[in-house]
Amino acid sequence: MIWFALWREYKLSIAEILAVFPEWKTVYFSKDILILDSLSKDEVLKKASSLWWTIKIMEIISSEIVQDALNTEWKFKYWISIFWDKKNLKEILNTTKKILKENDISSRFINKDFKNLSSAQIIWEKLVQSSTDYNYIFDFETKYIWKTIWIQDIYSYSKRDFNKDRDMQTGMLPPKLCQMMINLSWWKTIYDPFVWLGTILIESILMWNKKVYWSDLNEKMVENSQNNILNFSKTNNIVLDDYEFIKLNAKFINESTILQDKEIDSIVSEWYLGEIMTQKNISLERIEKQKESLLSIYDKFFLNLKNIDYKWNIVICFPFWELNSKYIYFEEVYKIINEFCNVEKLFPDDFENLTTKAGSLLYKREKQLVWREIFKLKIKT
Ligand SMILES: C[S@@+](CC[C@H](N)C(=O)[O-])C[C@H]1O[C@@H](n2cnc3c(N)ncnc32)[C@H](O)[C@@H]1O
């Protein structure tokens, strides 16, 4: 059995894991944990690096810590975390240390102040490499021991976010959300018709995608994204198999030469979310105005995709707003979706209430008033 430790936005984490490993049997899930069965450690490790919403991955072990320690030549450095139950970690650590001592094993636990360790500490202490990060789950009095086999490289993330020349005010699409959307799409080739700075396509290249296509209404954005995407590939020594970009109003997506000439299997895009709104200028009137102008794009986009019989995946996000601590959803867009699209399921039937009633996932970021509602769609035939 394999246990995935989830991020705070656990619904997005679960959707992503199930998209990457669709064939596996779910044993249990909660807002912290997803446990899957019928898969091997090797399979997990092969795909783990494309999971961006998983904190760490553990496999269940049948042995006790002391058995592991007996095979260690050096001082046995280990770490225990406890999940689910408020069992006394101090007592567990002291007892374990005593047992190890009785077995003539010199050891040291790393837990400071008898607390669970952070990802940063686990990485720093190289506990995954030494295979000595232990996680206990108690189901009543039965103890299950899990060993960490993979951990998210949080350092490469913060570096990526820092390096990007992007302005937070514009509500830039976070790389992690791009990656989740890419994972949901089952991509091979990706087209972003609202490309802006090219964030989605750059993240897809980092996920080993070698064919990228894009368009935007704004000439400057077509140029900027071209520079960003091609420079990124060059500086990272990645040779793209194919790419193409055009200036295009997405309302007339049926005229896209890219869709006509290339085999695109996924449209993944953060749509134009409308104007940036701040606490000072947000109002119901302004939101309604935004909705109106956005609907005129969305409406034509889907109609024209239907007109060209686009059969493949569409993973997109629409905006919704927070006004006076209330959420204003873009319900008018649901009508368009229902007219032209089927909403694809993101979870098996027994995963109750993980999506909204509309079948979407929500992504909110603190201090922003325009948020994102993510859908996976297919055009109705
Ligand atoms: C918020 S950005 C999209 C973000 C982008 N996917 C990213 O993460 O970098 C919106 C983009 O949509 C473009 N846009 C707005 N209306 C459009 C339309 N009708 N057709 C095509 N692009 C449009 C804007 O020029 C802008 O580049």
**Is-contact 266 201, C-beta < 8 A?**
no
Closest residue CA from atom 13 of ligand 1: 194
Is 192 a pocket residue for ligand 1 (Cβ < 6 Å)?
Answer: yes
Q: In the predicted model, is pLDDT for residue 2 greater than 50?
A: yes
Asked whether 250 lines ligand 1 (CB < 6 A), one says yes
Domains of the chain: 2-155 (3.30.2130), 164-379 (3.40.50.150)
**Nearest protein Cα to ligand 1, atom 1:** 272
Q: Is the CB of 218 under 6 A from ligand 1?
A: yes
Mean pLDDT of 164-171: 46
Q: What is the mean pLDDT of residues 110-124?
A: 81
Question: What's the pTM?
Answer: 0.88
Are 270 and 173 contacting, i.e. CB atoms less than 8 angstroms apart? yes
pLDDT for residue 116 is more than 90: no
Indicate whether 239 pLDDT > 50: yes
Q: Region 140-167: what's the mean pLDDT?
A: 71
Mean pLDDT of the chain: 87
Minimum-distance ligand 1 atom for the alpha carbon of 250: 20
pLDDT band for position 227 (cuts 50, 70, 90): very high
Give the position of tokens 């200036």. 247
